A and B are shown apart, each in its own frame.
Chain A
């Protein structure tokens, strides 16, 4: 059964929830999704200056105010996003904390050369992903006019291209891995004022970009998980809140690439992808109706009218109040859109929101509602007032009229954006960057930036990595998780432990120790369990922990230490007791037992073990103790 063809958003059918569709349905929609996974690198300093990395502030000592203007790319084009952001006329304030920023982050000093520690980390992760590391690294400037980076661009460079990760028997292409500086943290964004904290700014991070090779919402989440764990297994990236963020690219057949920005958790990916697929399907259905009606981008004229006078004469309501405070009101009729404005696009979301979002973001009219529509919002104004607005616009009752209000310049921007969005509706799905909202729907953030926003950084020369450095970085490279998993399975490690250890930095230690295990002393599963589950007070890297473990295994093979002696060790592995001494210790522990033990054999056995073992911990094997306890009770 194919639910997709039966679902028609224009007929008011309920939106299919995540789980209602399976792989065949998504395939028939032509769902394609790719990922951009960002992870902060674990370095002591930032990427292009000597400020400490990973130090976050909640207070600030000073602030600066800036604005952004778009510039040309080296191909001679202006980027669409850049122009959109310029239209927003934002006053951008940066909060500066002396301990976390210097004049570089303020864009008052040129960059220092790229942090070699960060570059080495990025190259190693690229090698782990099997990427072709580029010979000469060119630092580019990627324009960000939202102000999240004070320079107006992010310094970024490709480190590797063309790799792949396996996923359910397929190859998922890795398009590229780049190194880049992290952006500011947004504090607030109201009207024309946006405020950023600068502590995170300039921290090194890697961005791993996949091909659009995922075709179900769950595939996207699974691949994201693999990529994040792979980088984490390297031990070279930061972990914790905010250290990893991902952008999810989604399109369906006939739709367009939409980037869902800054998805904070993998768990939310499937529903976000599903909802975006629904949205694109609705927008395509709306486009088809518009085409049938002969509505085109060219046929939509700017017929907006200032209707402040009409609203001013109204009896009451918030529109009237806004006018009393000096707002202008404009009406934009959309002939041809009859019956479409209320079409559901996402859960609890209708087509009208596409317009409202643009007005909020671009015209900065962000107190909601910011758009009312004559055909779906009748309570704001009386029918007589709507009638006057219809006559002013020269359209009938059924034709939707979008009404916006606010500062005169903002309203002018808003009417332009409404018309722009209506024209885009004739083409289908606009390419956009969208933000993930708490209910797993998405909201417009900006026009999707294109390659025109990239241009070379002239402040720093290209970096030639050189064969010697590459060779050094390839030494002791941990194998990728899927190869590790195969190895662990060959070694006979249990499924759960193998899955966890394959993605853990302690794998290197396992690989070092496993060949040294004897046949009877400790199994591979036992070793894996020791490395993962026992929180031993020492690092897990081979150089730091190898000697201790070599010594412990020697003792184990010589029979001087039990596996339990390693498990419970604090500093040194605990020495095992010789048989007679063990028996004597057991007897002593037995003598300490209280008289009122449970009568039933099972509970009695468990209670006795629980009381006896602490005294014998690490020195006598659990199995031996259990045998003796059983002997005693029978």
Chain B
């Protein structure tokens, strides 16, 4: 379905377009529409191109919109025209001597945005001026520069964007910034955080990924607080890591700083959707500053030394195993030239016996295969049961406690460097940024169970 491609009748098609054209009633015209049921006065709004072709949308003086069916329309009288000027107020971002220099790289998402009433989509607004217009508090923290690398929803991020982003981060570090913020849609933020952790190693400054769960066109948005927290972390913190900075609790209280390789989006809509798995977060951040939770992080440095390895081979797949899976799933990947497979297995890292021949065939074809767990928390351990040992025999390598998505990103990155399975395995099993940890702390696994009296009491007293 496409619109009429005409700005004058934006979004209208079919009978509705015909009626508007007949009376030369362009969108944003102030009109009275006479119908067989009475007269309606208002501004003609552009229409969502996905909506049906039989209604005209009017904005009435009260601010409400209504849709009128073209069926009963008798006449349209035009009184004038008022084109909307939908712009976030742009003010020059003030420069203050002595404040840290922070670069905000945009990939898309809704950190600052405006609404497209035609499609209902939220369009990012991004220049420093626009950001200053909507979140002026940023100027208290830093001197901000911005660059819009991409304008995509996070599901459309891919190897090309990951490589471009990593290279841009490298450039900015060389250019002397004190911290980097990456604006990103939340759906695949943890994928990008993982790949940045591999592609950009040994950064001397914080690299902070941020987004919002409630888009910034809403008064209750978490965008402004997330952006302030991320910018504060980039500008002032001692944590020279790739991090995700998003809400801790659902309340407007503090953001958590998650290691880029241990973080995962865990709820489809909660503000506090990002959690660190099988470990604790690096720290937290609020208006008073950054509070690390641990000591073993990489410190900020004054030098500009950084290793950027921006490569990715996209012939990699992540297979989420399910009982009853048939070998043709694996076979077809091999037949289509895939070079690497991450399996998210059950329990400690298992798949069913019918898959064995396919795994063996894949191994012989030189496909690198690694086992992760779909339980998300915990280590792969393939010695406990005989099944595990058999699967290892077939060439599947246990990937310790790497999260499935992280292992997927790392395998693409490894295959981008070498096609030699032994070298790939060596890269995969060498921890780079806590993607594999040596030990899982007792409080690295916390999924509280609601309903238990003491848990509910804790929530009511502390988790506000």
Question: In the assembled complex, which residues on chain A have CB atoms less than 8 Å from the CB atom of B220?
Answer: 66, 68, 107, 150-152
**Contact in complex: B67, A153 (CB < 8 Å):** no
The reply on B406 being an interface residue by CB < 8 A is no
* Interface flags, B79-105, vs A, CB<8A=1, else 0: 000001111110000000000000000
**Contact in complex: A452, B51 (CB < 8 Å):** no
Question: In the assembled complex, which residues on chain A have CB atoms less than 8 Å from the CB atom of B85?
Answer: 75-76
**How far, in whole Å, are A178 and B459 apart by their CA atoms in the complex?**
37
**How far, in whole Å, are A178 and B62 apart by their CA atoms in the complex?**
12
Which range contains the number of A residues in contact with the other chain?
A: 35 or more
The reply on A132 being an interface residue by CB < 8 A is yes
Question: In the assembled complex, which residues on chain B have CB atoms less than 8 Å from the CB atom of A109?
Answer: 268-270
Query: With A74-B84, A76-B85, A464-B52 known to touch, is A63 a contact of B460 (CB < 8 Å)?
Result: yes
The minimal Cβ–Cβ distance linking B39 to chain A, given in whole angstroms, is: 8
The reply on B217 being an interface residue by CB < 8 A is yes
Chain B residue with the shortest CB-CB distance to A106 = B250
Q: Which of A70, A152, A176, A450 contacts B64 (CB 8 A)?
A: A176
The reply on A456 being an interface residue by CB < 8 A is yes
A/B interface sample: 6 pairs, CB < 8 A: A65-B253, A71-B219, A74-B45, A109-B268, A145-B219, A464-B67
Chain B residue with the shortest CB-CB distance to A92 = B252
**How far, in whole Å, are A176 and B86 apart by their CA atoms in the complex?**
27
**Contact in complex: B271, A108 (CB < 8 Å):** yes
Question: In the assembled complex, which residues on chain B have CB atoms less than 8 Å from the CB atom of A350?
Answer: none
* Interface flags, A54-77, vs B, CB<8A=1, else 0: 000000111111111111111110
**Contact in complex: A72, B86 (CB < 8 Å):** yes
- With A108-B271, A158-B65, A451-B63 given, can you name 6 additional A-B contacts, CB distance below 8 Å? A62-B459, A62-B463, A67-B225, A161-B66, A450-B63, A458-B120
Q: Which of B84, B218, B271 contacts A152 (CB 8 A)?
A: B218
**Contact in complex: B57, A64 (CB < 8 Å):** no
**How far, in whole Å, are A60 and B463 apart by their CA atoms in the complex?**
14
Question: In the assembled complex, which residues on chain B have CB atoms less than 8 Å from the CB atom of A464?
Answer: 52, 55, 67
Q: Footprint of A on B, CB under 8 Å? A: 37-40, 45, 48, 51-52, 55, 57, 60-69, 84-89, 114-115, 117, 120-122, 214, 216-221, 224-225, 249-253, 268-271, 456, 459-460, 463-464
Question: In the assembled complex, which residues on chain A have CB atoms less than 8 Å from the CB atom of B121?
Answer: 458
**Contact in complex: B63, A73 (CB < 8 Å):** yes
**How far, in whole Å, are A162 and B42 apart by their CA atoms in the complex?**
14
Chain A residue with the shortest CB-CB distance to B46 = A74
Q: Which 9 A-B pairs have the closest CB atoms?
A: A152-B219, A136-B67, A454-B63, A451-B63, A458-B120, A135-B69, A65-B251, A138-B65, A76-B86
Q: Which of B39, B117, B224, B464 contacts A69 (CB 8 A)?
A: B224
Chain A residue with the shortest CB-CB distance to B51 = A462
The reply on A517 being an interface residue by CB < 8 A is no
Q: Which of B52, B63, B463 contacts A452 (CB 8 A)?
A: B63
**How far, in whole Å, are A462 and B249 apart by their CA atoms in the complex?**
33
Query: With A62-B463, A67-B252, A74-B115 known to touch, is A108 a contact of B64 (CB < 8 Å)?
Result: no
**How far, in whole Å, are A591 and B445 apart by their CA atoms in the complex?**
89
Query: With A74-B86, A152-B219, A462-B67 known to touch, is A451 a contact of B269 (CB < 8 Å)?
Result: no
Query: With A61-B459, A153-B218 known to touch, is A176 a contact of B62 (CB < 8 Å)?
Result: yes
**How far, in whole Å, are A82 and B220 apart by their CA atoms in the complex?**
12
Question: In the assembled complex, which residues on chain A have CB atoms less than 8 Å from the CB atom of B218?
Answer: 71, 141, 151-153
**How far, in whole Å, are A158 and B253 apart by their CA atoms in the complex?**
36
**Contact in complex: B115, A458 (CB < 8 Å):** yes
Question: In the assembled complex, which residues on chain B have CB atoms less than 8 Å from the CB atom of A93?
Answer: 464
The minimal Cβ–Cβ distance linking A412 to chain B, given in whole angstroms, is: 16
The reply on A326 being an interface residue by CB < 8 A is no
**Contact in complex: B61, A451 (CB < 8 Å):** yes
**How far, in whole Å, are A194 and B424 apart by their CA atoms in the complex?**
57
**Contact in complex: B251, A66 (CB < 8 Å):** yes
Q: Which of A420-476 contact B (CB under 8 A)?
A: 450-456, 458, 461-462, 464
Question: In the assembled complex, which residues on chain B have CB atoms less than 8 Å from the CB atom of A453?
Answer: 63
The reply on A485 being an interface residue by CB < 8 A is no
The reply on A137 being an interface residue by CB < 8 A is yes
**How far, in whole Å, are A103 and B270 apart by their CA atoms in the complex?**
8
The reply on A401 being an interface residue by CB < 8 A is no
Q: Which of A108, A134, A157, A175 contacts B250 (CB 8 A)?
A: A108
The reply on A129 being an interface residue by CB < 8 A is no
The minimal Cβ–Cβ distance linking B162 to chain A, given in whole angstroms, is: 29
* Interface flags, A120-156, vs B, CB<8A=1, else 0: 0000000000001011111011110100001111001
Q: Which of B62, B67, B249, B463 contacts A138 (CB 8 A)?
A: B67
**Contact in complex: A134, B68 (CB < 8 Å):** yes
The reply on A116 being an interface residue by CB < 8 A is no
Chain A residue with the shortest CB-CB distance to B50 = A461
**How far, in whole Å, are A206 and B72 apart by their CA atoms in the complex?**
27
**How far, in whole Å, are A75 and B271 apart by their CA atoms in the complex?**
28
The reply on A110 being an interface residue by CB < 8 A is yes
**Contact in complex: B250, A64 (CB < 8 Å):** yes
Chain B residue with the shortest CB-CB distance to A163 = B38
**Contact in complex: B67, A140 (CB < 8 Å):** no
Query: With A145-B219, A151-B220 known to touch, is A72 a contact of B114 (CB < 8 Å)?
Result: yes
Which of A60, A72, A157 has the largest number of chain B CB atoms within 10 A? A72
**Contact in complex: B68, A72 (CB < 8 Å):** no
Question: In the assembled complex, which residues on chain B have CB atoms less than 8 Å from the CB atom of A454?
Answer: 62-65
**Contact in complex: B115, A69 (CB < 8 Å):** no
Q: Which of A375-389 contact B (CB under 8 A)?
A: none
Question: In the assembled complex, which residues on chain A have CB atoms less than 8 Å from the CB atom of B51?
Answer: 461-462
Which of B39, B52, B219 has the largest number of chain A CB atoms within 10 A? B219
**How far, in whole Å, are A593 and B31 apart by their CA atoms in the complex?**
83
**How far, in whole Å, are A162 and B60 apart by their CA atoms in the complex?**
12
**How far, in whole Å, are A140 and B55 apart by their CA atoms in the complex?**
17
Question: In the assembled complex, which residues on chain B have CB atoms less than 8 Å from the CB atom of A69?
Answer: 219, 221, 224
Question: In the assembled complex, which residues on chain B have CB atoms less than 8 Å from the CB atom of A137?
Answer: 66-67
Q: Which of A61-105 contact B (CB under 8 A)?
A: 61-76, 78, 82, 93, 103
**How far, in whole Å, are A103 and B463 apart by their CA atoms in the complex?**
15
Query: With A69-B224, A455-B115 known to touch, is A135 a contact of B65 (CB < 8 Å)?
Result: no
Chain B residue with the shortest CB-CB distance to A86 = B219
**Contact in complex: B65, A140 (CB < 8 Å):** yes
Question: In the assembled complex, which residues on chain A have CB atoms less than 8 Å from the CB atom of B460?
Answer: 60-63
The minimal Cβ–Cβ distance linking B362 to chain A, given in whole angstroms, is: 41
**How far, in whole Å, are A487 and B68 apart by their CA atoms in the complex?**
35
**Contact in complex: A72, B62 (CB < 8 Å):** no
Question: In the assembled complex, which residues on chain A have CB atoms less than 8 Å from the CB atom of B69?
Answer: 135-136
**How far, in whole Å, are A178 and B61 apart by their CA atoms in the complex?**
14
**How far, in whole Å, are A62 and B249 apart by their CA atoms in the complex?**
12
**How far, in whole Å, are A453 and B51 apart by their CA atoms in the complex?**
24
**Contact in complex: A132, B250 (CB < 8 Å):** no
**How far, in whole Å, are A128 and B130 apart by their CA atoms in the complex?**
48
**How far, in whole Å, are A117 and B85 apart by their CA atoms in the complex?**
38
Query: With A74-B117, A176-B62, A458-B120 known to touch, is A134 a contact of B67 (CB < 8 Å)?
Result: yes
**Contact in complex: A68, B217 (CB < 8 Å):** no
Q: Which of B39, B120, B219 contacts A70 (CB 8 A)?
A: B219
Q: Which of A462-499 contact B (CB under 8 A)?
A: 462, 464
